[in-house]
Structure 1
Amino acid sequence: MKAAQEDSFREFVEGSWHRLLRTAYLLTGDHGAAEDLVQTALMRTYKRWGAIERGDAPEVYVRRVMVNLNISAWRRRRVVEHVVAEPPERPEPGGRGDYQEAHAVRDELWRTVLTMPPRMRTVFVLRYFEDLSEAEVAAVMGCAVGSVKSQVARGLARLRAELRVEGSAR
């Protein structure tokens, strides 16, 4: 690789590392796995950087590589469930500030999103956390816009049902 391309790649990595890491964490739900995902995607991108940097959006390309790598990882990975004797403690309502309540709601929502099947979770991450349009999500995932819409609809129904059930248990 030419020195100018290496400099260009280094600048790209320094400028987009945190955004890519955030996306990877949202896709994997694990900090270590997120770092591995970004590094692997950047290694693959580095090999083709000359062609990629001339394109319109190198970050979109890297995000697509991350999604594809994550999908491949799902297919190889077995789901492991951890069964516990007692459900985790829920904080008592009242007596907490608005910030704490908002954090608790966000945490509950995120835990529910993490229980979604990987493809559905990827659609949610790209659509709602990365704020991509349905067409952009479809392009990143290599599927039809209708597939994105159906995954979103099923996911929202699942979130409503899960949060309603958890909310009524309080």
Structure 2
Amino acid sequence: MGVRKQAGDREFQAFVVGCWPRLMRTAFLLTGEQHAAEDLVQSTLEQVYVAWHRVAAANDPEAYVRRVMINAHARRYRRKLREFLAPRSEDAGLTHEVADTGDRIAQADDRHTLLNALAELPTRQREAVVLRYWEDLTEMQTAEAMGCSVGTVKSNAAKGIAKLRALSGLAETVTQGGRK
């Protein structure tokens, strides 16, 4: 193996180690299932590894990889979105994430309710809400990751937040949480 190839492999490995938790969190929020999230991240990293020289040369390699992951998710679930997002039982939905001890959301008492509410959003609204408010990206970064305009991000995020606010279970949880 050449020196250049070994250096690229070390750089890729360092990137994966540093970004894995964030990529997994985003993938989980997009897919709704831990195993699907792992598959999505792994397949994304396979694609990225093949073109690592191009990805590493990008201004923001993590944003580049996030965009590849969002595109892969959209392709994978475009046809069966409604069926995929529908809860299969009371315990189904976004409830099987492996908690990240440094993640404040993971420590919230009402995580189950929030994740189930998030699962009810259409894909584009979920993507906008997750990237804007969970990943704390700017509108411009979110637009780049989703491959759309800033206006579309604003619209999808606003609609997603409005739907989340309209859900009675989530609204009751927030109200009760404020009184504790």
Whether these two folds match at TM > 0.5 is yes
Q: CA offsets, 1:56-91, max 9 Å, x none? A: 22111111111101111221325334577xx78xxx
- Residues 126 and 165 of structure 1: CA distance in aligned 2, closer, same or farther (over 3 Å): closer
Residue 116 (structure 2) aligned to one of 93, 111, 120: 111
- CA drift of 1:26 comes to 1.3
Unmatched segments (≥5 aa) in structure 1? 89-101
- Residues 54 and 165 of structure 1: CA distance in aligned 2, closer, same or farther (over 3 Å): closer
Residue 3 (structure 1) aligned to one of 1, 6, 21: 6
Root mean square deviation of aligned Cα: 2.4
- CA drift of 1:165 comes to 8.5
SS of equivalent residue, structure 2 residue 121:
coil
Could you tell me which residue of structure 2 aligns to residue 99 of structure 1? Answer: none
Q: Which has the larger radius of gyration?
A: 1
Aligned residues: 153
- The answer to whether 1:122 aligns with 2:127 is yes
Write out the 4+ residue segments of structure 1 that deviate beyond 4 Å after TM superposition. none
Unmatched segments (≥5 aa) in structure 2? 92-107, 173-180
Cα distance in structure 1, aligned partners of 2:87 and 2:27: 23
- CA drift of 1:107 comes to 2.4
Larger CA deviation: 55-64 vs 1-10: 1-10
SS of equivalent residue, structure 1 residue 56:
coil
TM-score, normalised by the number of residues in structure 1: 0.80
Residue 162 (structure 2) aligned to one of 157, 161, 167: 157
Could you tell me which residue of structure 2 aligns to residue 53 of structure 1? Answer: 56
- Residues 52 and 82 of structure 1: CA distance in aligned 2, closer, same or farther (over 3 Å): closer
SS of equivalent residue, structure 1 residue 7:
helix
Cα distance in structure 1, aligned partners of 2:62 and 2:30: 16
TM-score, normalised by the number of residues in structure 2: 0.76
Could you tell me which residue of structure 1 aligns to residue 65 of structure 2? Answer: 62
